[in-house]
Structure 1
Amino acid sequence: MKCPPALPEESERLRALSEYGLSADRPMPSLDPVVRVAARAFNMPISAVNIVGSDHVFFAASTGAELGTLDMRRDVSFCAHAITERGVMVVPDAALDERFQDNPLVTGAASLRFYAGVPLRSSCGHAIGALCVVDTKPRDDFTTEDQDRLRELARLASDRLEVQRLTILAQQNQPHIASMPSHLPAPVICFDEVGTVLALNEAAAELHGYLPADMIGSPVAMLVAGPDQPALQAMLRELLRREKSPAVALERRELRGLRKGGEEFTLELTPFRWQEQGQQRYSATLRDTTERQEHARELRRLNSSDHLTGLANRASLQVSLEQMLAAARSAALVVVGLDGFKALNSALGRAIGDEVLREVARRLRHAVSPADVLARIGGDEFGIVLPDAPSPEHARGVADTLTVRIADPFMVAGHEIRLASSSGIAMGPLHAEDALELIGNAELALAHAKGSGKRRSFVFLPTLRMEAVSHRQFAVDLHRAVENNELRLHFQPQFRLSDGALAGAEALIRWQHPQRGLLSPAAFLPALEAGPLAAIVGEWMLDTACAQARAWRDLAAPDLRIAVNLFQAQFQVGSLAETVIAALTRRSLPAACLELEITENTVLNQDEATLDSLLELQRHGVGIAFDDFGTGHASLSLLKRYPLSRLKIDRSFVQTVMNAGPDANVVRAILDLARSFGLATTAEGIETVAQRDRLREEGCDEGQGYLFGRALPPAEFAEVFLFDRAPPLAALARDRAGSASP
């Protein structure tokens, strides 16, 4: 077991911690909702805000079974390690981590295996503890998105800790009741039991615009404006009422102070009473907090608003929801997301994208009622809280109205902008009694709406949360699948339309699940692409496809071309060009036999390094194809800029190519576009002879689809399409017209 490293600023850290007044027997109830939300959000049995002292740790808040039995020594604490990190510390399996494998928390009755924790920092930057989630079983599905969500919860915990610190300091900073006002630099005034000024220092007189002699003998009430004089008199009566106490210091109050010329200002006044030589003495410290209040208001405005649009921000919206739910008020949350905004931002530039967001904010501001809370809660997402919303249907009606308002075209820097938007809706307390959970549920509904098409709105259903948990389980299973070699490559043939000859094969991933059987990509690809395994699986696909190409070229198809799809993650890890060239070299394959397929949106989401990688691959002779062309947001400038060799026409256009209308025209336009750029073309999803013939007449080079054959395992592919005993390929392509089905 490795003990936590010593922090160089440990003494300063402990001094900062002392300002919070925390101890094992003084937990913070305000942190309880944070740990409960963390446990639910990550499906963890244990969550805690753990405060790290000099030699022990203790919980400021926690949820989970048998926490009281844990060893709380600092030397064995996971959180004592976490506070030494700058970001989130994730331990997928403590039993395999040299820091913790023989830790009593791991080997003992607690049997902790998974840990994720993020430091909680004081206002001066010292780590005083950590927000953590813990499990008794190992987990390798804690994604970067999960880490971001844990950081967000940690910020909420830090805010509540700061409120605790300020409360403690306010209590500790009461004036010393035995101090005489004459030598104090702060404004101090002395008065008798009826409120007549007996003495004051120059600072107090100057604060109100008088000379000291002018104020002696006057009533204390002259310090404050008329409307606040009753409050001042009540404070003085409270001092007198506590006459049995040898000394009394009342809480400081803010009143409207009054200067000699009638000017009002914010006056902080703290009255206190003490005994001196058997006599009662009454004093008050004074402070002009006008500037501080203005500064505080400005800070609150900045901290609660979005700097780009001027709307409230995510934290402010969350606070509004918390207040409504705490008051047992119903509230609907509508989360609006712009469809395709990232592509627009990439194509037109960030400056235009920012202006688009400001225009959307302006439209939403004019569309909602004054009682509604409107906020920008993400890059292209806006949240609207509808207080006392009567039903989900009412909220959906509001969402549909916002969709119409956003859709009106407008001009920005000479560009006509047409936007589509989708909405997710969640009702509190129907769908959640906690603000964070309600926001998460609305965002799950938004994701479902976007997945169903543009301009959709969807009301949260509990099944969405179940699907999210299932998605997380898929991520866990995928790690096992990679370790146990459960992934497979099937190959779908690609034929030349001019003569029916086999031109290539596209490698398509499948999952041979031990319980669910053979899974198609639709079942697991979203989880794979969103997780940390995408780059690893992508490299495996590339190497496996190249190995299969080598085998088939040696046996029966010396000119066969292999197409392999790339994941976005492969552009972000290492050098893609080096990886591809290494795979070709290992199999002694010419670069021309490999074609890499990328989607339009993959290109739009990448940077200059992506272009450099593709240019390097082109120089070596590797083909680059745009997959599903016509369904994304590619522009002509991308076709000019990127080193493409092929456009693949999406199956949605091919299915209706026989119809007179827009889709047939789209196919014709894509083919004309490809010819003008000198690009080859492949049509996907060909199912009938008529479709094949029409595409051949229009000049399409190649096709793939069920007419020619579905994706098959390598041995079956070779049996059907490569070996001599298979029927002639040109005839096969013709004869499959009526026999293949999806």
Structure 2
Amino acid sequence: MRLAPIPADEERRLASLAEYGLEPDDCQGEVGVIIDLARRLFDVSTVLVSFVERDRVIFPARLGLDVCAIDRGPAFCSHTLVQAGPLVVLDTSLDPRFHDNPFVIDGPRVRFYAGAPLVSPSGHPLGTLCLLDGRPRNGFGAAERDNLASLASLVLDKLESRRLARAGEVSQNRFEQIAATSPDGILCADHDGLITFWNAAAERLFGFPAGEAVGRSLDLIVPDRMKGGHGGGLRRVAEGGAPRLVGRSVELPAQGKDGGEFPIELSLSMWWDGGRANFGAIVRDISERRKDEERLHRLAHFDPLTELPNRLVLRQRVEEATRGALPAAVLIVDLDGFKHVNDYFGHSAGDGLLRDVAARLLACIRPRDTVARLGGDEFAVLLTESGDERGATEVARRIVHAMTDAFEVEGQPVNMGTSVGVALYPAHGETADDLISHADLALYDAKARGRDRHRLFDAGLKAASVLRRTLEVELRHAVERGEFELFYQPQVCAREGHLKGAEALLRWYHPERGLQLPGAFLPALEGSTLAAAVGGWVLRTACRQAARWRAAGALDLVMGVNLFGAQFRSGDLAKVVRQALSDAGLPPSALELEITENIVLQNDGAALRTLRELKREGVGIAFDDYGTGFASLSLLKTYPVTRLKIDQSFVRRMTDSPQDVTIVRAVTMLARSFGLSVIAEGVETMEQRDLAAAEGCHEIQGYLYGRPMPATEFAVAIGIGEVGRIRAA
């Protein structure tokens, strides 16, 4: 553990520190509001005001820590003293100064630290306003450093008043010695309320030279509308009355020589000299402080982009509603397709769109209701005194309808979809956490059902969520224990029955439930953080298997591999594909990547660039489940596709439905126009095969030629070593 260097002016620093006379937990009341604001603004577990003494560090004010003083040696604040500005340590375990610090490896296990120094008027660092948390951070930007420094300045303002008030308790002579160099306005008055001392800072503050001020009444600095009250109060104290303001700091309006009013903080001291009361006042212009307080308060409670309340305020207002046992409804609103606005028009255009969304939401509710921005493109609405299903769903419908009108983005109309989840109090939960969580679950279900719709929470959604979380845990174990396996389904020439390729299909051998088909786990896997890693494993395993079969005689076999959307979002899909091909010794032409419309729509720009790059290198690109989506024609024009896979729902009904035959015929004609090959999925009978071939399908995939099967069974089925026609089942 590295100890912090001792400042060169340590003795003078300690002398300056002694002027404050602070003890542990001594100013919680004075600065408690500031440190509570800091905890909420920076989302940390602990905020401390520290003063670094010779051998220990004391905490005159604190939140989130049980101890009120510690040894100076391991204290992070000791290092902040020798900094020119804030000290920020994003991950203490990775910092050579702190990685073996006892507060990092034991005790509170501090992983993040940020401290702004508290510097006395004489320029000596006394301690810090510091933030601590058990979670490391990825960043703490310039704006956050400035905000922390602003809060530290507010703390020091409060403590500076204490220092000067304490000095005034000693004697007028001592008071005036400190006052001469103080940045604060200092003035003294006798028992009649006449000014006896007026320092240079007071001259600058009020505009009166000392020669004009000394000898005049304290009413000199009091606004005209309030004159007379102050002097009377001083006379009452001088005559033995109880002092109401002595020893306290109060905020009051003051008036300068030019007649202008401004807010001040006044700390009043009193001492007796020759049996007569004397008064000292420390005066500070708090105009800038007020601005800082208001700015920091808005940062802590309002979204700076839309000026709507933030998540913290929403939670507080929901809690108020539940405490009052008043009916209420929480609506979570999410935009569908907002990412494309940022991708196509830029983030400034996206910001403008979010402000327009905020305005439309406000137009959908009553003045007493709340609209909040939760982050990104997610908003929330709190309907107070309105917890019935009909009223809440009517507002949800109104919101969905309001968002259907095109937005104007850089002069162009842009259509957005909207999904809304609704939860009612008390029907769907008794706490703020329950209501917000349940509205979010309803939103999740609304999005899964398509855009432009709302969904009311019900108990089934909670049960499904619990099952989903359980499944996600089991899937993580499946990855760790190697429980996944690839099955393969043959793809054959439609007319001659020759083997052309195979599609790799993921299966899961659950230790208790046995073999799991894709429908039981793929949706959860696709939505988890495991998707990219599992997709990479599938790709590598399938490529190695294809190389083995081609070496064993299936010379022209092409392996089809389905992609997860997360593989595009990872940003390195092309690199992963190249590495898998290289490791397996497989040519790019032996691999076909299968994509769906949802993957393309959710990863538009990244997907397009990656697929074009891979196609240029010879990798095949198949559009899976073709014909079932909404935007297939436009995507076909844009994307570098080499093959269409006609969805099995059309193929299976061809023998009974002329409409489905027409659809298959239209797809094959479209493919010919684009120079693409076509494969029909879901072929189960000879009649379906013959119809598909007659309509122009080049290849067939389905139970007629084999179900998905493990690699060993697939090798037997295709007769590795004697590759030729595949017999129909």
Whether these two folds match at TM > 0.5 is yes
Deviations 1:637-690 (A, max 9, x none): 8656654322334556667887688x9887676555544432223344556778
Opposite residue 330 of structure 2, the aligned amino acid is: L
Counterparts of residues 133-144 of structure 1 (less than 5 Å): none
Within the alignment, does 1:333 sit opposite 2:333 as a pair? no
Which residue among 165, 170, 184 is the counterpart of 2:158?
170
Show the counterpart of 1:187.
Answer: 185
Cα distance in 2, alignment partners of residues 231 and 321 from structure 1: 44
Contact 1:248/1:274, CA 8 A, preserved across alignment: no
CA distance change for structure 1 residues 673 and 310 in 2, over 3 Å: closer, same or farther? Answer: farther
Opposite residue 249 of structure 2, the aligned amino acid is: E
Show the counterpart of 2:134.
Answer: 132
Matched position secondary structure for 1:180: helix
Which residue among 531, 535, 545 is the counterpart of 1:534?
531
Contact 1:494/1:703, CA 8 A, preserved across alignment: yes
Show the counterpart of 1:598.
Answer: 595
Cα distance in 1, alignment partners of residues 232 and 512 from structure 2: 75
Matched position secondary structure for 1:309: coil
Contact 1:425/1:458, CA 8 A, preserved across alignment: yes
CA distance change for structure 1 residues 180 and 672 in 2, over 3 Å: closer, same or farther? Answer: farther
Cα distance in 1, alignment partners of residues 387 and 697 from structure 2: 56
CA distance change for structure 1 residues 170 and 104 in 2, over 3 Å: closer, same or farther? Answer: closer
Shift of 1:123: 4.2
Opposite residue 361 of structure 2, the aligned amino acid is: L
Deviations 1:405-430 (A, max 9, x none): 11123443454322221112345687
Show the counterpart of 2:90.
Answer: 86
Within the alignment, does 1:284 sit opposite 2:284 as a pair? no
Opposite residue 248 of structure 2, the aligned amino acid is: L
Larger displacement relative to structure 2 (310-319 or 415-424): 310-319
Shift of 1:597: 1.8
Contact 1:55/1:75, CA 8 A, preserved across alignment: no
Deviations 1:432-485 (A, max 9, x none): 777667544533332232123323333455665665555444444334323432
Which residue among 708, 711, 721 is the counterpart of 2:708?
711
Within the alignment, does 1:121 sit opposite 2:109 as a pair? no
Cα distance in 2, alignment partners of residues 489 and 722 from structure 1: 19
Cα distance in 2, alignment partners of residues 366 and 593 from structure 1: 57
Counterparts of residues 353-392 of structure 1 (less than 5 Å): 353-391=350-388
Show the counterpart of 1:38.
Answer: none
Cα distance in 1, alignment partners of residues 239 and 493 from structure 2: 100
Counterparts of residues 485-504 of structure 1 (less than 5 Å): 485-498=482-495, 501-504=498-501
Opposite residue 363 of structure 1, the aligned amino acid is: R
Show the counterpart of 1:515.
Answer: 512
Matched position secondary structure for 1:375: strand
Contact 1:424/1:443, CA 8 A, preserved across alignment: yes
Cα distance in 1, alignment partners of residues 449 and 257 from structure 2: 68
Cα distance in 2, alignment partners of residues 709 and 205 from structure 1: 96
Contact 1:123/1:162, CA 8 A, preserved across alignment: no
Opposite residue 374 of structure 2, the aligned amino acid is: I
Deviations 1:210-243 (A, max 9, x none): 5667666766456444776799689769967996
Cα distance in 1, alignment partners of residues 438 and 192 from structure 2: 60
Matched position secondary structure for 1:311: coil
Which residue among 343, 354, 359 is the counterpart of 1:346?
343
TM-score in terms of structure 2 length: 0.71
Matched position secondary structure for 1:359: helix
Which residue among 439, 449, 452 is the counterpart of 1:455?
452
CA distance change for structure 1 residues 360 and 477 in 2, over 3 Å: closer, same or farther? Answer: same
Cα distance in 1, alignment partners of residues 311 and 522 from structure 2: 31
Percent of residue pairs bearing the same amino acid type: 37
Cα distance in 1, alignment partners of residues 187 and 295 from structure 2: 31
Matched position secondary structure for 2:395: helix
Deviations 1:368-407 (A, max 9, x none): 2222232322221112233344345543332222111111
CA distance change for structure 1 residues 651 and 34 in 2, over 3 Å: closer, same or farther? Answer: farther
Larger displacement relative to structure 2 (363-372 or 262-271): 262-271
CA distance change for structure 1 residues 238 and 377 in 2, over 3 Å: closer, same or farther? Answer: farther
Show the counterpart of 1:416.
Answer: 413
Show the counterpart of 1:625.
Answer: 622
Runs of at least 5 residues in structure 2 that lack an aligned partner in the other structure? 80-86, 119-127
Show the counterpart of 1:6.
Answer: 2
Opposite residue 594 of structure 2, the aligned amino acid is: E
Contact 2:249/2:265, CA 8 A, preserved across alignment: no
Matched position secondary structure for 2:452: coil
CA distance change for structure 1 residues 222 and 247 in 2, over 3 Å: closer, same or farther? Answer: closer
Contact 1:626/1:644, CA 8 A, preserved across alignment: yes
Matched position secondary structure for 1:597: strand
Contact 1:197/1:219, CA 8 A, preserved across alignment: yes
CA distance change for structure 1 residues 598 and 333 in 2, over 3 Å: closer, same or farther? Answer: same
Deviations 1:703-737 (A, max 9, x none): 544565542333444455558999974754xxxxx
Cα distance in 2, alignment partners of residues 559 and 430 from structure 1: 62
Contact 2:554/2:723, CA 8 A, preserved across alignment: no
CA distance change for structure 1 residues 76 and 309 in 2, over 3 Å: closer, same or farther? Answer: closer
Cα distance in 2, alignment partners of residues 493 and 228 from structure 1: 93
Opposite residue 2 of structure 2, the aligned amino acid is: A
Show the counterpart of 1:735.
Answer: none
Could you say what the CA RMSD is over the residues aligned between the two structures, in angstroms? 5.8
Larger displacement relative to structure 2 (372-381 or 694-703): 694-703
Structure showing greater Rg? 2
Cα distance in 1, alignment partners of residues 157 and 434 from structure 2: 32
CA distance change for structure 1 residues 160 and 558 in 2, over 3 Å: closer, same or farther? Answer: same
Counterparts of residues 423-502 of structure 1 (less than 5 Å): 423-426=420-423, 439-460=436-457, 468=465, 470-498=467-495, 501-502=498-499
Deviations 1:89-119 (A, max 9, x none): 79xxxxxxxx99xx9999xxx9x9xx99751
Shift of 1:513: 0.8
Cα distance in 2, alignment partners of residues 530 and 352 from structure 1: 28
Opposite residue 535 of structure 2, the aligned amino acid is: G
Cα distance in 1, alignment partners of residues 92 and 687 from structure 2: 58
Opposite residue 485 of structure 2, the aligned amino acid is: R
Cα distance in 2, alignment partners of residues 321 and 235 from structure 1: 45
Opposite residue 90 of structure 2, the aligned amino acid is: R
Cα distance in 1, alignment partners of residues 697 and 239 from structure 2: 96
Matched position secondary structure for 2:556: coil
Cα distance in 1, alignment partners of residues 437 and 23 from structure 2: 33
Opposite residue 644 of structure 1, the aligned amino acid is: V
Contact 2:88/2:113, CA 8 A, preserved across alignment: no
Contact 1:208/1:258, CA 8 A, preserved across alignment: yes
Show the counterpart of 1:251.
Answer: 249
Opposite residue 121 of structure 1, the aligned amino acid is: A
TM-score in terms of structure 1 length: 0.70
Matched position secondary structure for 1:357: helix
